[in-house]
Structure 1
Amino acid sequence: MAGRKYLTHLEIEKLVAATAVGKNAVRDKCMLLMCFIHGLRVSELTKLRVNDIELATNIIHISRLKNGFSVHHPLQIREVKAIKDWLKVRSQYLDSDTEWLFLSRHGGQISRQQIYRLIRNYGKQAGINVNVHPHMLRHACGFALADKGCDTRLIQDYLGHRNIQNTVIYTASNAERFRAINI
């Protein structure tokens, strides 16, 4: 299990549930949901700005890194609630007048290192038996899309991959793609 690079849907739910307590619970739940739902890299998560979220149209603009395509994704109902809850308490954080969506309790933009530490700790609290890190949520998103029957090109576009070889890992191991074959 130690070498696994993704989390299952049940593990994602446990991870999100682990955010329920603590002074940053609202922020952390929102971050984890968005990271999983949109397959965000940790740097993409830290670079989200308040104006990247359009609650009137339920759209998020994601500037993909690593030469990826930038995309607009629809926001999901559960996520919209988490964003609204976060925006209500965000003003209590230092430097809340900055453009960054996610802030550190100590002021300014939340750091990659802080997110790694948070996710690792939530993984332990949730009793997940692998060393959890942020990129596992991106991989979990890719596998979840494949499990839902999304084709490789759609997953490629959703995750912002330029090269489809980075995407086939999600569909190649999915037995469901052969379900319709009847020889």
Structure 2
Amino acid sequence: MLPPVPDSPRHPAPTDPPTTETRTVRGRSANDVVRGRQHLTRDEVHRLIRAARDNRQGQRDALMLRLAFEHGLRVSELVGLRWSAVDLVHHELRVTRAKGSLDGTHPLQGDTVRALKRYQRDSGRSAGLVFVSERGAPISADGFRRLLHRLSERVLGVKWHPHALRHACGVHLINQGVDLRTVQQYLGHANIQNTVAYTALTGRPFERLSF
């Protein structure tokens, strides 16, 4: 076999024809553009909770959405929640945070306590993971993502990701006038700059301005 002939300056090797690429903004999907924001509103969350009750595992699904929103849980924190962290006597939830965030203890709302008690009674389970499948297997983070994708697309017309529930919690607290340090502790932020970012998602810093 003859060795390859090197390219000659007088006879350059042909180059591939230019291609046309369709680019999207890095980190943003079509759903991001349609939503126009990264957080759900309180009313949207409640619409999802009500709609989730019609699911095959409606009691469980609605409760997962409620806890994720009310306690600003990441999806990994939600699916990893255990009954040992739920105190139905003193109405408290011990939140074990992921990603280097700070753990904390939250008060449980009255409606949430009643929902937890019903779910515990109807499921016949009070130990181990709080949320499991019909066969008793753990629910994966991807499983909850798919659940929320289907539900939000049906109810709100666009797919939402689980982290939007955590963002919804932070935005709601700030809109309620809760101070930044308290929001920081509630969400487990080690750095308050992560909490400050939520103020940009609300109109509260500018509410005293007039034009």
Give the TM-score taking structure 2 as reference length.
Answer: 0.78
8 Å contact from structure 1 (residues 39, 141) kept in 2: yes
Question: What's the CA shift for 1:175?
Answer: 2.6
- Provide the secondary structure at the position in 1 that maps to 2:35: coil
Corresponding residue of 1:50: 83
Q: Does 1:116 align with 2:145?
A: yes
Structure number, greater radius of gyration: 2
SS at 2:167 equivalent: helix
**Aligned residue in 2 for 1:156:** 184
SS at match of 1:6: coil
1:40-63 deviation per Cα after TM superposition (whole angstroms, max 9, x unaligned): 000000111011000000000000
In structure 2, stretches of 5+ residues that fail to align are 1-33
Number of matched pairs: 177
Q: What SS does structure 1 have at the residue aligned with 2:93?
A: strand
Does residue 79 of the first structure (1) align with residue 112 of the second (2)?
Answer: yes
Runs of 4+ in 1 over 6 A off after TM superposition: none
Letter in 2 for 1:104: S
Offset of residue 97 of structure 1: 7.3
Normalised to the residue count of structure 1, the TM-score between the two structures is 0.89
> Do the aligned residues in 1 keep the contact of 2:148 with 2:159 (CA within 8 Å)?
no
Deviation at 1:137, TM superposition (A): 0.3
**Could you tell me whether the CA contact under 8 Å between 1:16 and 1:33 is conserved in 2?**
yes
Comparing 38-47 with 116-125, greater Cα deviation is found at 116-125
| 1:67 maps to 2:96 | no
- The amino acid across from 1:67 in the alignment is G
130, 138, 143: which one aligns with 1:101: 130
Equivalent position SS for 1:61: strand
2:167 and 2:51 map into 1 onto residues whose CA distance is 20
Q: Distance in 2 between matches of 1:3 and 1:11?
A: 14
1:170 pairs with 182, 188, 198, which one? 198
Gaps of 5+ in 1: none
Alpha-carbon RMSD = 1.8
Aligned residue identity for 2:166: R
**Alpha-carbon separation, structure 2, partners of 1:148 and 1:42:** 24
Stretch moving more, 102-111 or 69-78: 102-111
Q: Is the 8 A contact 2:104 2:186 kept in 1?
A: yes
Q: SS of 1:72's equivalent?
A: strand
Q: Which residue of 1 aligns with 2:71?
A: 38
How far apart, in 2, do the equivalents of 1:116 and 1:101 lie? 17
